[in-house]
Structure 1
Amino acid sequence: MTNRGSELVDWVAEAMEPVGTVTSRKMMGGHTLYCDGVVFCIVAFDQLWFKGDAENDAEWDAAGCEKFRYDREGKTATMNYRLAPEEAYDDPDELRRWAGLGLAAGRRAAAKKKPRKKKES
Structure 2
Amino acid sequence: MAGAFQDYISELFEPLGGVAFRRMFGGVGIFRGGIMFALTIDDALYLKTDEASRPRFIAEGVGPFVFDSRGKTVTTSYWRLPERLFDERDEFADWAAEALAVAERLHKPKSGKVRKSAPKAGR
The TM-score normalised by the length of structure 2 is 0.78
Q: Which residue of 2 aligns with 1:116?
A: 111
Identity of aligned residues (%): 33
- Separation in 1 of the partners of 2:6 and 2:111? 30
| 1:39-94 per-position Cα deviation (integer Å, ceiling 9, x unaligned) | 11000122000011122122222222201111122222111000000122233223
The verdict on how the C-alpha distance between 1:37 and 1:8 changes in structure 2, with shifts beyond 3 A counting, is farther
- Could you tell me how far 1:119 is from its partner in structure 2? 4.5
| 1:3-24 per-position Cα deviation (integer Å, ceiling 9, x unaligned) | 4xx5333323222222222101
Question: Is 2:63 the counterpart of 1:73?
Answer: no
Report the aligned-residue RMSD: 2.1
- Could you tell me how far 1:29 is from its partner in structure 2? 1.5
67-76 or 77-86, which deviates more: 67-76
For the 8 Å contact 2:47–2:80, the answer to whether it is kept is yes
Q: Which residue of 1 aligns with 2:104?
A: 107
Identify the match of residue 86 of structure 1 among 83, 99, 112: 83
Query: Which 4+ runs in 1 deviate beyond 6 A?
Result: none
- Separation in 1 of the partners of 2:76 and 2:55? 16
- Separation in 2 of the partners of 1:28 and 1:88? 25
Q: Which amino acid aligns with 1:86?
A: E
- Separation in 2 of the partners of 1:109 and 1:31? 20
Q: Which residue of 1 aligns with 2:23?
A: 26
For the 8 Å contact 2:57–2:81, the answer to whether it is kept is no
Larger of the two Rg values belongs to structure? 2
Question: Is 2:6 the counterpart of 1:38?
Answer: no
Q: Runs of 5+ in structure 1 lacking a partner? A: none
The TM-score normalised by the length of structure 1 is 0.80
